[in-house]
Structure 1
Amino acid sequence: MTVKTVPTNAELVNESSKLKVMKGKQKFNLKYLGPILALVIFLSLWQFIPALLDIKPFILPKPTDVVAAAVKDWHLLWPAMQITIFESVIGFILSAVVGIGISVLLASSRVLEISLYPYAVILQTIPIVAIAPIIVIWFGSGFNSIVIISFLIGFFPIVSNTLMGLNSVDKNMGDLFKLYNASKWQTMVKLRIPAAMPFIMSGLKVSCTLAIIGSITGEYIAGIGGGKGGLGYAITVAAVQLKTPYLFACAIAGALFGIVFYLIVSLVSRLVLKSWHESAMEAEK
């Protein structure tokens, strides 16, 4: 007759730890293996299809051609990237500060929200290529106009998301603040803004990528040469000169910067929300 042994607490904890490690490995495999495999397949097809079909590099360059062009013209690519990064960050910061400030102002007064918010929507619906020449006339070519264009493109998502968050506060919590005779400013600072943080962070994540698009778009219209042009200007020059591999290198550089920028803002979002909001807490698990 066999006697069954009861596992000790230490053994239970050890088994629990092993299960967590196994689950962590499974999550890692699902999260990273699929995208990595898809990227390898995509790059392989991109590399071999032009060679098989004898497509010229100025029509569709292979990844190796793009890398070679980036290395060859790195002395041009890196300064252009730095300029675009600086313009995008400044435009994004302006969008965040002004957008959140205006949202708080609109949310504090129903009359202001009804009166002014429709014009923010109208501003967003106007194609940026239509108002960009006006901005250039007013502010001149170069940095100022590009930053303003970047700001305008990234502005509305922050206003829209922040205003939605400020107006979505739990009614019972609002009644509680009224019960304690809290002023409008106290309610805004201690209740509405903290409750709107997930919405604000969502708006910032959208705006940071749009700020890059705005900068590159602005550089097409208001960019200047002489070593002071960003990726948009470099793409324009490469297209005119039929330097397609370098054009691809510029576009990929902009995309990589967009990914990094988005990941940085997402990291900040998790750090701000992880201790109390469900969305960030679930992501940490």
Structure 2
Amino acid sequence: MTVQTAATKNNQIITESVQQAKGKDRGIRRGTLIGPMIAFVVFMGLWQFVPMILDIKPFILPKPTDVLNAAIQDWNLLWPAIQITITESVIGFILSAVIGIGISILLASSRILEISLYPYAVILQTIPVVAIAPIVVIWFGSGFNSIVMIAFLIGFFPVVSNTLMGLNSVDKNMGDLFTLYNASKWQMMWKLRIPAAMPYVMSGLKISCTLAIVGAITGEYIAGIGGGKGGLGYAITVAAVQLKTPYLFACGISGAVFGIVFYLTVSWFSRFMLSSWHESAMKVEK
């Protein structure tokens, strides 16, 4: 009876501890939602009332209501610009992901290739995009093709850097095990190194997706065209010239919202790929 009573008490203690831990997790989750919401409401309130109190003109600092009205009034211009920027960014991101991962696998397969070619990828990243953009325009012409290339170039290096780091960070014991079983170089690449590098690849894609948007909008400043075919970068340039500050804010906020959605989409894909086996994604799922 004494042993059974002690075991029962231990089970009760464990159950209470688990329930307390779950309660703490729920409290933390509520805090992660409530905190940002309160901060957002406070920020929007200050943004709305400070210009009213200080009598700041809308062309200097528009209120949120001014920005919303401008977005509604010029929606026939804003929505096509958003669609164009989305298309350019997504295509540039896909190119950077596919080509970047492919080149990383090629470099990781040969130490000589990695030593010979990787420094040039670093040099490409260190050159400012505003310096490369005019050359890209000369080669590909103004408009869509040049903007996609700029988005690709600015999002390319993070994919290569992170993927190559992951391919070169394989556990030594696992590598020795594959060698013991006489695995070929490509068998080791496809069955060991690439799966082990997936967390690094996903980190690179998360960085690249946001940089692709920056590259697309930057490219639109330089290579954008009008006539209803310009993206958010071109729309921002026109709004600034015409002192349409509320519409300028609407364009900038639209780009930011798209960036957040794009990043969350890639993050969801990362969790989908890693949640069944990698600890970082499994913790997110909990």
- TM-score by length of structure 2 reads 0.94
Distance in 2 (CA, whole Å) between partners of 1:267 and 1:126 is: 32
| Structure 1 spans left out of the alignment, 5+ residues | none
The residue aligned with 1:54 is 55
The one-letter code sitting in structure 1 at the alignment partner of 2:136 is I
SS at match of 2:249: helix
Runs of 4+ in structure 1 over 2 Å off: 10-25
Deviations 1:216-246 (A, max 9, x none): 0000000111111000000000000000000
Match of 2:198 in 1: 197
Match of residue 96 from structure 1: 97
List per-residue Cα deviations over 1:159-204 (Å, max 9, x = no partner): 0000000000001111111111111110000000000000000000
Letter in 2 for 1:57: P
* Counterpart Cα distance in 1 of 2:45 and 2:17: 41
Per the alignment, residue 151 of structure 2 pairs with 150
1:79-103, Cα deviation, whole Å (9 max, x unpaired): 1000000000000000000000000
Q: Which runs of structure 2 are paired with 1:183-194 in the superposition (5 Å)?
A: 183-194=184-195
Give 1:29 shift.
1.3
2:121 is aligned with what amino acid?
Answer: A
Is residue 221 from structure 1 mapped to residue 215 from structure 2 by the alignment?
no
Aligned equivalents of 1:74 and 1:13: distance in 2?
A: 58
- Are residues 1:261 and 2:262 paired? yes
Letter in 2 for 1:280: A
Aligned to 1:37: 38
Tell whether 2:127 aligns with 1:126. Answer: yes
Residues of 2 paired with 1:158 and 1:112: CA distance? 17
Deviation for aligned residue 1:17: 8.1
Equivalent-residue separation in structure 2 for 1:14 and 1:63 (angstroms): 50
User: For residue 239 of structure 2, what is the aligned residue in structure 1?
Assistant: 238
CA distance in 1 between partners of 2:147 and 2:96 (Å): 13
Aligned to 1:257, what secondary structure does the other structure show? helix
TM-score (norm 1): 0.94
Q: Percent identity?
A: 76
CA drift of 1:156 comes to 0.2
How far off its partner does 1:19 sit?
Answer: 4.6
Distance 1:127 1:20 in 2: 49
State the 1:31 CA deviation. Answer: 1.2
